[in-house]
């Protein structure tokens, strides 16, 4: 634990942790760059293949039902967007509840709010990494639950719920690609350290990226939509709306609850 605390202090001051060879960071950077280079066109081709793939065997859900589901996605009523926004908010709250549940197990009183967990007393050093991991597990549980429900019966409402549940992991994946870390602070580092991975690595970042790919692949596999400009516009609108909801929720949550629960 003392070693991890020293690494956190060094990373916050821009210095490489002493027990990690700089060569490892060089290799990891090249691997991450190569993966990103091949991942983007590979994902695009894979999604197109799912959309244009011809049905060979009869699936559990009839083709007529899938076409109706996709048609409803392409012609969304306003209430579907409300389901989507509600799923975004609920999935973030589940993430915070995951943090708090582990804190409770370590005897630390904690309050989950829509976009942040508040610890009401200092957390023991032994509980800091598991508490960070709790939020990660909460997000994974939210996406898997929405995905399993969607697979059983694909429709517009369940599509919106799946998209909402994967919005936060999508923001993490986007931040990982743009800034090199999916989460500010050291939450992801602590979470992956709790799993036994290198504290300074990117195991949690890759985990969330894989979760986004899994959710997207599941949707295309079950819905098998025709890729149209209107559907692409819906995806773009949903991505922008999801990002706006995440930012506004975070800002509003901090403004409302930070004065009530000072950070420990």
**Predicted confidence (pLDDT) per residue in 58-100, tens digit:** 344 455 555 555 445 556 678 899 999 999 999 999 999 999 9
Choose between 17 and 243: higher pLDDT: 243
The first and second tokens of residue 61, run together, are: 């859900």
Q: What is the percent of the chain where pLDDT is above 90?
A: 53
111-141: per-residue pLDDT in tens? Answer: 999 999 999 998 888 899 999 999 999 999 9
As beta bridge partners, residue 173 has none
pTM for the complete prediction? Answer: 0.73
Task: Collect all residues with Cβ–Cβ distance below 8 Å to 131 and sequence separation of at least 6.
Answer: 99, 102, 103, 106, 108, 119, 123, 190
91-104: per-residue pLDDT in tens? Answer: 999 999 999 999 99
């Amino acid at each position: 634990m003392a070693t991890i605390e020293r690494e956190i202090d060094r990373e916050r001051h821009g210095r490489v942790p002493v027990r990690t060879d700089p060569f490892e960071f060089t290799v990891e950077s090249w691997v991450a760059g190569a993966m990103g280079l091949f991942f983007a066109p590979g994902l695009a081709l894979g999604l197109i293949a799912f959309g244009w793939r011809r049905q060979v065997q009869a699936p559990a859900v009839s083709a007529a039902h899938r076409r109706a589901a996709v048609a409803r996605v392409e012609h969304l009523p306003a209430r579907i967007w409300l389901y989507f926004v509600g799923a975004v908010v609920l999935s973030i709250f589940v993430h915070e509840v995951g943090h708090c549940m582990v804190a409770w197990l370590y005897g630390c009183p904690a309050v989950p709010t829509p976009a942040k967990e508040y610890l009401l007393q200092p957390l023991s050093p032994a509980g800091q990494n598991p508490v960070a991991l709790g939020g990660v597990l909460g997000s994974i549980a939210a996406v898997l639950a929405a995905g399993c429900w969607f697979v059983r019966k694909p429709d517009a409402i369940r599509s919106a719920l799946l998209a909402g549940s994967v919005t936060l992991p999508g923001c993490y994946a986007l931040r990982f690609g743009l800034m090199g870390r999916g989460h500010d602070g050291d939450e992801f580092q602590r979470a992956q350290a709790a799993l036994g991975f290198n504290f300074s690595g990117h195991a949690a970042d890759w985990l969330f990226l894989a979760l986004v790919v899994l959710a997207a692949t599941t949707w295309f596999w079950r819905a098998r939509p025709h890729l149209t400009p209107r559907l692409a516009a819906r995806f773009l609108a949903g991505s922008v709306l999801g990002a706006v909801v995440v930012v506004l929720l975070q800002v509003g949550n901090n403004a409302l609850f930070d004065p009530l629960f000072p950070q420990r």
